[in-house]
Chain A
Amino acid sequence: MSYKVLVFVKQVPDTQNISGDAMTPEGTVNRAALPAIFNPEDLNALEMALDIKDRFGAEVIVATMGMPAAAEVLRQSIYRGADRAILVTDRALAGADTLATSYTLSCCAKYVGNCDLILCGRQAIDGDTAQVGPQIAEKLKIPQLCYVEEVKNIAGGKITARRAIEGGYEILESPMPALLTVIDANLPRPMNAKRIMKYKRAKTPSEIAKAVPDADQAAAVKAELAAKGLLITELNASDIKAAPERIGFPGSPTKVKQVMSVVLTAGEAKKIEPTAAGIAGLIHELISDHTLG
């Protein structure tokens, strides 16, 4: 028996390593200057899926919703061991909040069909909301197991998993299909050198079209890659039967009223010299005003 495991991943700006170049002189974020990375906890979700494949037998499908450039995280997933990958990309998806995103991804899950398990990282570092996983589970009317650390067993149509709770852990048993959100509790395997050699030419139709401007030539390249199993599936909103009023900006109930960039002003801090005298003076001041002691 082989299971079907779908992993949702996201390409995110590396918000944890923001350098000076990433801010414009006006204090807004220059997204182009931020490196795009594989969302860290999505790597943990992929690792869990590949571990399920190793232990119980499974087909691992990785899917992402994003710009055409997000194909990069799909290739990296294939290098690590994913069997196939799907890019959901469409201008109509722009401006999606978590509700519209989860609806779109639930449509993608239905398109893939008959998944036994859907895995997501707990949260993405560009928003830290942790909302999309539970919302996909609700849209598909399946159980959600959140903050999963380890899959204990899969047998008899049920999954048993250990997950974090406040101040401890729980072992939960759930019927499948089920959705798991995965936390940083495993060590994602590195990319496999043989798989990199085999799949480095894997491309989406958008990438082919960009690299080969001539339509006839592009079609030939596409056919060649498809024959070799190197064509990454690319879907738009209508392919996955997503209702236009429920995706992107129109499908998002939350609207941004105002955005303020965080401008760091020079503080009113009193400068203390890092010398014995400077520090003794500071300690004296704090004891005198009863902050210390």
Chain B
Amino acid sequence: MSETIGNVWVFIEQEGGKIAGVSLQLVSKGRELADRLGVKLEGILLGNNVAGCAKELYQYGCDKVILAEDPRLEPFTVMPYAKVIMDLIRERKPNILLFGATLKGRELAPRVASEKMAGLTADCTSLEIDDFDDKRNQKFYKDKLMQIRPAFGGNIIATIVNTWDDPQMVTVREGVMKLGEADPSRTGELEKVEVKLSDAETVVKVIERVRADKEVDLQGAQIIVSGGYGVGSKENFKLIHALAEAIGGEVAASRAAVDAGWISHDYQVGQTGVTVRPRLYIACGISGAIQHRAGMSESKKIIAINNDPNAPIFSCAHYAIVGDLNAVIPQMIKAFKAKQ
């Protein structure tokens, strides 16, 4: 193949000059993909006065940071961001473009993909480079990005390939890709690009903006006690809090418990929440749909408490307690306090 292939890009999401955790994780993954393809890894950084982010991006693996700075890029609004990224794609033809599946990423990536007429796969849980022999259309594609994600309520795992124009675009949830080691000696090149925006892209105005950092940092937690629909009520969720407090852990929840309004989305573990890898994960009253397991199955030790012996959560647990969590949790607290 004489045709040169484009570089791997990561959209770098920042808030007030602080890089989103998922963006650094994607830089780590992007480095792997770029090495496999023999191309460069470039970070696409938009905002105003954000050049200071570049150093950290080199340390995690970017060869280059493409920087677009403009007052109209702060705070984030989707249309100016999409315009800047589209202009860059047209000019430079990247091979792969990775976005964090954050609220920002999930509204920006489809707007860009639609204009570029490129495929976009949401919430990938794994990314690999492989060939694709499309027998139906009798076409062979070399070194494509395998975009792997659960589908259909998590009952199947699909490998998806973009067969149209590059870039091959995906979004990935926070915590799904592992953050590599930063190399303080690693440096890169900073390229500032001109921002061309017209009135058409700046019609949406931010009248008011209220935000605070997340209440919890589940990704850093070593012990997590997580409650699901089986907890039964908001009131009963205090059992989960009590166990977490007793053993020095953080509280988390499954989507069903969040949807039921028992706890805020910041605490949600799973495909549409946070992915965690603690030393100990205690799943209480969580049936264990694959979307949940995708977010916690790499925990070092997993205890599952469920009164249904056939609950899927037991398939990834190291310790299975088939029983009523209302009885089991107080016993655990008692046993732990007795051993202390």
Contacts and interface: CB of A to CB of B under 8 A. Distances in A.
Nearest to B278: A291
A134 interface: yes
Interface of A: 13, 15-16, 18, 22-23, 28-29, 97-99, 102, 125-135, 137-139, 143-147, 160, 164-175, 181, 184, 252-262, 264-276, 278-280, 282-284, 286-287, 291-293
Given A256-B160, A260-B157, A130 B106 contact: yes
Interface stretch (B33-41, B109-117, B189-197): B109-117
Nearest to B155: A29
Contacts of A168: 209-212
Dominant secondary structure of chain B at its interface with chain A: mixed
Given A172-B207, A291-B300, A264 B312 contact: yes
Dominant secondary structure of chain A at its interface with chain B: mixed
B107 interface: yes
A269 B204 contact: no
Contact of A174 (B115, B122, B160, B203): B203
Interface residues of B, number: 93
Contact of A144 (B107, B115, B152, B272): B107
B119 A276 contact: no
Given A138-B111, A254-B162, A264-B315, 10 more contacts: A132-B110, A143-B203, A165-B209, A167-B214, A169-B210, A170-B206, A175-B203, A255-B137, A262-B150, A291-B301
Interface in B84-101: none
Interface stretch (B53-61, B65-73, B175-183, B330-338): B330-338
A18 B155 contact: yes
Contacts of B15: 166
A274 B301 contact: no
B339 interface: yes
A145 B204 contact: yes
A97 B147 CA distance: 14
Given A125-B153, A291-B301, A254 B103 contact: no
Given A272-B321, A282-B303, A98 B335 contact: no
8 contacts: A15-B153, A29-B155, A171-B209, A254-B120, A255-B160, A257-B161, A269-B319, A282-B335
A147 B108 CA distance: 13
A138 B117 CA distance: 11
A163 to B, nearest CB: 9
Given A135-B114, A254-B162, A291-B280, A127 B151 contact: yes
Contacts of B290: 262
B340 A293 contact: yes
B50 interface: no
> What 10 pairs between A and B have smallest CB-CB spacing?
A15-B153, A274-B323, A168-B211, A253-B164, A253-B119, A254-B119, A269-B320, A135-B114, A138-B114, A129-B122
